[in-house]
Each structure stands twice: as structure tokens, then as C-alpha cells.
Amino acid sequence: MRITALAGGVGGARFLRGLIGHIGTRDDDAAQATITVIGNTADDITLFGLRVCPDLDTLMYTLGGGIHEEQGWGRADETFTVGDELRAYDVPPDWFTLGDRDFATHIVRTQLLRTGWPLSDITAALCERWQPGVHLLPMSDDPIETHVVIDDADGRRAVHFQEWWVRLHAEPEAKEFVFLGAAESTPAPGVLAAIESADLVLLPPSNPVVSIGAILSVPGVAAALQATSAPVVGVSPIVGGAAVRGMADACLRAVDVDTSAAAVAAHYGARRTGGLIDGWLVAEGDADLPAPAGVVQRARPLLMSDVESTRRLAGAALDLALELRAWTAATTA
Amino acid sequence: MRITALAGGVGGARFLRGLIGHIGTRDDDAAQATITVIGNTADDITLFGLRVCPDLDTLMYTLGGGIHEEQGWGRADETFTVGDELRAYDVPPDWFTLGDRDFATHIVRTQLLRTGWPLSDITAALCERWQPGVHLLPMSDDPIETHVVIDDADGRRAVHFQEWWVRLHAEPEAKEFVFLGAAESTPAPGVLAAIESADLVLLPPSNPVVSIGAILSVPGVAAALQATSAPVVGVSPIVGGAAVRGMADACLRAVDVDTSAAAVAAHYGARRTGGLIDGWLVAEGDADLPAPAGVVQRARPLLMSDVESTRRLAGAALDLALELRAWTAATTA
């Protein structure tokens, strides 16, 4: 059984760790599932001349056992000597913290990029160390960067997503998100095939705009999600009108979507009517929210507060996808 | 008064620190001397995609108060997290150790090189932090690398100087040193002027072949040393038939020069007869060795075992140069 997931950073990584853990407890076909993860690379940024891929690294470190658990990103047991030295040299920016262990990843990646390796091959090489238990693919080998149009005291201008998110704490209203480079990009090798040939497709509770939305901005990805015979099941990143993590509300406002599980489901839309999802998991308190016609909605505990609850959530998403798949098989038989 | 010195790494850096210290104790014209240092860049190597300039950094860290004193190179209070991580990624080479603090220097340098800055401007920018008390110039802004022709179990081949020196401990006999890129290089801005307009030129006890020799391989440098009106005084890196530091003997053998103060002086040659030096400091035990005709030789304690002895040695070199300058002034008056 082939499971394919689209994922951003922290939320996606924790969900996927839960999925791997859950699969290990099953005794049906799903126990043997292979998982392909299509990671968002539009958060990527070049800092100090080094290419940093926050979401790919969060996925790799989380699934490979190197993550800083409390923080959700970056390495455990991290030190900050290189960054302190860069500050002593007065090298900007001073608002993005990279640890020493993390620096090594960016040094290796940049060295290989400079010698012509595509990001997908580099990611595979890095994963030889981390053994994340999934096949991790960047959404594209082409550089794509999310920039945010803001209008603050410095005037109307576009800043890199990381500057808006990390330095400006998503406080200046985002007028628009632009996925620079996306229109001319192509999906990384294996991305479209992973969607088209999947038995199940999952959308973890990642940011619908700057994570899942960025992946969908790569030409061909949305069409592949439309075309695949696999059911597509999403998990709401919104619980009771608030983002489970991060500042998704500030992103949703920019695309005129309310901060509610129902509004995000409507934003994704039902596959049957040209949208992206067949199934949708919402929190138990959101059970009465309307789902788009053609989307099967189920209410389950969505918090990923510990290993067990995260496994149960992933199991619920998997169960819904398996049910939808069985129904489709019965319908077309 | 303008003093210009050519310098390699550890020996040159310690000598220059002694020179700065000594100058501070004088009450003649030399007390106000400005010092320009032309550093060897042929030891430079690209590791992990980062440009490493060992001699420039040793000069900068030593004169700027950041050096690892016992070791003579690298940073004090150094840690090795990034290097450990690179090994965990199995990224070669594993025979060159870079510390975390040191990595920051290479990251800044490489970032600026990639944006088109010449190495001389980058060195000046790094020195804004280190305030070395000298004007530090790379010998050239062009990449030059010393490679060593060896003939060992793996056959006859050329390896980077650092591979021969650090990994192979200078054990395979060096058949030849090749300064790759030197023939097509030009001196960095200010290098020729610093020699031509100097009042005194000093050659610290750096390696005559791979440090001073590499600087001399840059077209125009040797001619500037010939042409300058300043006296040129060298300090022997050989005491009693052995190198004071490092493996200079292995380098001298490759150019058919004995490991003796007299042989190195003859190798440099008297300026009067087309060579490079006017004055030559040897150890007291080497006082009876012959000097080339036209070279004034003086015997002084050459060991740089502590701050005081190093200052005295630098003072002796300065005194000899000042005497030679006074004689020249008297002769041409």
C-alpha cells in the first residue's frame, strides 16, 4: 500500500511521525504501507550564503530522531557558536537563528547544490543519515520562495516569508502571498507519480496557505490530486476557530478564508466538484460545522499533544481514507 | 615609517605580534611605524564548499587576540560541533579539522566571495572585527593553490598542499611544488606599492618554499623586492639544521636546498646580485655559517618561545633593517 502525504513543517512532521507509529500497530494491509512525503520548499531561504530548507529539515529531523522536541524545529542538544560568531562579524540577518548542528546540514546541502546536484538528490543523500522511514521529496528541484506583500511603516513592499513570519511575527497584515518561481517550476522527480499511483493521499494539519498552498502552486500537483484514483483526506489545522499551531489565521486572512475548519475545507473544496479533498477530519467540538458537498467529514480529537494522541489522530485519518477507498472500490466494481 | 612584511602562518604571525609589541616600546621614528602584511594565500583550500584561508586567518586571529595559543592556529575556546555533524553525514574530507568559531569566518568569506567581493576587500572586512594592528593584504585576489607532486603507493600524482601537509604529514617525498594559478595571477591591490614604498621590508621566519616562495610566485612581487629602496631583512626559519616549526625540511628538499640557515640565505640570495635580501638573522649557534656576499648577517636568539623573546627577535630584525637603511642613506648621500 502506498500512502502519499503533502506536508509543511512542524505540524506535518508530527502527524507523519504519528502515522508511522500508528502503522506499526496495525495488522492489515496498511501495516506494510510505504509513505512518500512531498515537502514544502517555498519557506526555503538563503542565509549567510547557505541554502536553508526549514520544512524539509523539520520533517527529516523529526522523523529521524534529531528534532528539538519542545521547539518543534531545529536540532536537539543544539549550540549556537557559529551564529554568535556571525553576529560578532556583524553579518545580517540577526533575526534568524541557526544552530551549529543545523548549520552542518545547510553546509552539506549548499556544497552539493553548488556542484549541480538537484535538491531531491541532496534530500535523499541527507536522509541516508536520518533514515526518516518515509521517502522524502521536495515539491520541486527549482527554487521557489514565498514572499509576502505587506504595507507597514516602511511602505508597501514584499518581504521573504521568513522575514514576515520570524522577524515581523506575522504582524503586518499580509496583503498577498506570492510563490516566486512557482509558475516556471516543475515538480521534483517522483512527485506527480507519488500522487497518481498512491492508494491513499493525506493532507496533514499543515498551513493551508503557505505550506499546502505552496505545494499546490507547483504546476501539475493540483491536477495530479484531481486525477488520482486514491482518496484524499485532509486534517483540519483549525480547531474551534484557532490555529492548532503557528499563525495560520494571519495567512488565511490574506486569501479571504475564515479561521474555521469549515472555511478551510471549503477553501480546499471537494474533489467531486473540482477541489482537492474527499474526506476531512475536524475536532470533536467542530463536529457540527458544515462540510462541502461531496466531502465526508468526521470529528476526532485533533490535538497532537503526545505520541499516543498523535498516533490516534493519524490512525483516524488513515481509517477514513481506507473507508473512502473501499467505498470507491465497491462503487466502481 | 612604513614596514612591509611577507608572511605565512604561525611563524609569521608570532613574529609580527612580537614586532607590534616591540614597536610599542621604542621611542624613535619606528614607534610610529605602520605595518603592511602580505599574506600567503596558496595554502587556501575549499572545504565543504567554503573557502578556507589558513595563513590569513592565523595572522588575523593571532594579531587580533583570537588565536589558540598552544596550537598556533585556529580559535581559542573552540568547539567542533559542525565538524562532528559533517562526519555524521559522511562528507569528506575527514582529515581537516575546522572548529565552529572558525567555520563562521569561512562562511562569511565564502558568502562575500560568491557575491563578487575580492579577497582583499573581504580580508579588510573581517579585520574590522579583529583589528590586527596591521594592514593585512592577501598576496593576490586570484585563487592560487599549492599542489605537491608525490610518488607513493597510489602512484605519481599531485595533491593539494593541505592534503600532503595535514593528511600525509609531509611524509611522501615532495618531488615538486606547483603554485597553481600563480602564473596568471596579479598581486592584490596595494601589494606592489607596499613593497615599493616601504621604508623597511621584513621576511619573518616563515617557510621559505611554500609560504615566502608562494608569495614570490605572484608575478611582480619578486621584481618589487628587487626594486624597492627599502632594505630587506630576513629571519632564518632554520636553527642548527632543523626547522624551528613545521616541516620546512621536507619542503626545502624538494627545491634542493639543505636544511640550514646558510642554505636558505643562499636560496633567497643577496639583492645586490639579483636576490631578495640585504640582511639575515641567524641563531647564535649558527653565527659561523657563511652568508652570501652582499648580505649582512647577524646572530641573535631566534626562538619565539614567549612574548618577550619574540619581541626581542623582532626588535633585532628591525634594528638590522634600520642600520642597513642608515648605511644606504649615508652611501647615497
Residue-wise pLDDT for A139-182, tens only, equals: 999 999 999 999 988 899 999 999 999 999 999 999 999 999 99
Please give the mean pLDDT across all residues of chain B.
Answer: 96
**Cell numbers given for B126:** 573581517
Would strands B135-138 and A45-47 be described as parallel, antiparallel, or unpaired? unpaired
Residues of B in contact with A123 (CB under 8 A): none
Q: What is the mean pLDDT of residues B182-198?
A: 98
Categorize the per-residue pLDDT at A332 as very low, low, confident or very high, splitting at 50, 70 and 90: confident
Compute the C-alpha angle A228/A229/A232, nearest 5°.
Answer: 75
Interchain contact, A111 vs B91, CB within 8 Å: yes
Q: Span A228-240, mean pLDDT?
A: 97
Which three-class secondary structure state does DSSP give residue B318? helix
**Which residue of B lies nearest to A86 if distances are taken between CA atoms?**
B104
Hey, CA dihedral for B59, B64, B67, B72, is it positive or negative?
A: positive
Query: If you average pLDDT over residues A234-255, what whole number do you get?
Result: 91
Q: What is the pLDDT of residues B102-132, one digit of tens each?
A: 999 999 999 999 999 999 999 999 999 999 9
**What global pTM score does this model have?**
0.95
pLDDT in tens, A83-111: 999 999 999 999 999 999 999 999 999 99
Region at B133 (left for phi over 0; alpha for psi -120 to 50; beta for the rest): left
**How confident is the model over B304-318, as pLDDT tens digits?**
999 999 999 999 999
Contact assignment for B100 to A104 by CB distance below 8 Å:
no
Q: Which three cell numbers stand for residue B81?
A: 560541533
A118–chain B nearest CA distance, Å = 16
Residues contacting residue A13 through CB under 8 Å, at least 6 positions apart: A7, A58, A59, A61, A62, A63, A67, A72
What pLDDT was estimated at residue A164? 95
Closest by Cβ to A49, choosing from B100, B101, B107: B107
Measure B111 CA to nearest chain A CA, in Å.
Answer: 5
* pLDDT at position A245: 77
Tell me: pLDDT of B241 over 90. no
Helix ranges (H only) for chain B are 10-23, 54-64, 81-88, 100-114, 119-130, 161-162, 191-196, 212-216, 221-227, 248-254, 261-268, 307-332
Closest-CA residue in chain A for B108? Answer: A48
User: What residues form DSSP beta bridges with A39?
Assistant: A7, A138
Place of cell 612584511: B5
Q: Is the CATH code 3.40.50.10680 the one for domain A2-75+102-141+185-332? A: yes
- What whole-number distance in Å separates Cα of residue B106 and Cα of residue B92? 17
CA-nearest of A163, A186, A166, A161 to A176 is A161
Q: Choosing among B45, B47, B85, which should be mutated to test the A contact, i.e. which has the most A CBs within 10 A? A: B85
Tell me the range of A165-169, A263-267, B25-29 where mean pLDDT is highest: A263-267
CA distances to A8, B3, B108 from A216, rounded to whole Å, are 12, 64, 35
Minimum-distance CB partner of B85 among A85, A104, A115: A104
Mean pLDDT of chain A: 96
CB atoms within 10 A of CB B185: 22
Q: What integer pLDDT is reported at residue B324 of this predicted model?
A: 97
Q: What is the pLDDT of residue B85?
A: 98
- Give the whole-number percent of chain B exceeding pLDDT 90: 93
- Choosing among A81, A129, A131, which should be mutated to test the B contact, i.e. which has the most B CBs within 10 A? A81
DSSP labels for A241-255? TEESSSSHHHHHHHT
Provide the residue ranges of all domains of chain A, joining segments of one domain with +.
Answer: 2-75+102-141+185-332, 145-180
Interface size between A and B, measured as CB pairs under 8 A = 88
Closest Cα of chain B to A218: distance in Å? Answer: 29
Per DSSP, A67 falls in state B
Pairwise CB contact (< 8 Å): B82 & A88:
no
Interchain CB distance below 8 Å, B107 and A50:
yes
CATH 3.40.50, domain B2-141+186-244+259-332, yes or no: yes
A81: burial class by Cβ within 10 Å (0-12, 13-18, 19+)? buried
Q: What per-residue confidence (pLDDT) applies to A333?
A: 67
Q: Give me the residues of B, 118-177, that contact A with CB < 8 A.
A: 126, 128-129
3-state helix, strand, coil in chain B (%, to 5): 40, 20, 40
Residue B302's closest CA among B318, B321, B317?
Answer: B317
Of the pLDDT bands very low, low, confident and very high (cuts 50, 70, 90), residue B11 is very high
Cell of A118: 538537484
Q: Which residues contact B193 (CB under 8 A, 6 or more apart)?
A: none
Tell me the pairing of strands A242-243 and A238-239. antiparallel
pLDDT tens-digit map of A27-68:
999 999 999 999 999 999 999 999 999 999 999 999 999 999
Q: Tens digit of pLDDT for each residue in B252-278?
A: 999 999 999 999 999 999 999 999 999
B221: exposed, middle or buried (C-beta count within 10 Å: 0-12, 13-18, 19+)? buried
| pLDDT one-digit tens code per residue, A278-319 | 999 999 999 999 999 999 999 999 989 999 999 999 999 999
Q: Does residue A238 have a pLDDT over 90?
A: yes
CA–CA separation, B106 and B123 (whole Å): 11
Count of CB atoms situated within 10 Å of the CB of B70: 6
